[in-house]
Structure 1
Amino acid sequence: MFNGTSGSLTSPNYPSNYTSGDTQYYKFFAPKNHRLIITVWDFVTEVGYDWLQIYDGEFANTGTPLLDWSGNKSTLVPKILTTTTNAASLVWYTDFVKTYRGYNLTWVAENYFG
């Protein structure tokens, strides 16, 4: 869980290849009356088998999906995502076959609701 007004997150071992057979869940919380601006700076995974999902809201798989990526998205970054609440959740999944460098993202909290 991450609280605060800014930070960064990368896949394990980034920029070297991530580990196989991994599932990670993260939650991000900005202060009250703020929203999160998430920027994905780099993204390369095994297409169709390793993926990153980012949701608008505290709970993965129930919030609005902001991102559902797999494969090489080098031509689509930076990708800027904006939440409608002060929370976001992230799911990172890798299978047991190929590994690549993964992802690099940052977030900042923006006063929006007050």
Structure 2
Amino acid sequence: MDGFYAAYLTGRAGSGLLLFAIRGPTFIGVDGGGVKYDGQIEVVDVGLKCTIVYMIPAGTPNLITGASPPATDQRIPLEFILPKDFWNGQVVGITTPLGPVNARFQKLRDW
């Protein structure tokens, strides 16, 4: 699972691209809007449990969920389950605190 990935995201108000890396249990990434992602991935019976915190800088425009831009930096915790073969092109729905998104993942290269 170690490697570099792209996530093509779509929400109520638009779409975006998240680039991230997984090495062991560590998840780290950034999207085109400047949002930073840090977290852990754990293999569980039903897939991969992702425990992520994403940081939205103050004034970030055009959040794809349609949420209003934050006036101050926001750290938002998020937990979700991915299928074990999440990078195979399937669309995965993820419910975030700011609204739902659909994600399609692609593995770009091994670590």
Sort the TM-score into its range (normalised by shorter chain).
0.3 to 0.5
Relative contact order higher in (CA < 8 Å, ≥ 6 apart): 1
More strand by share: 2
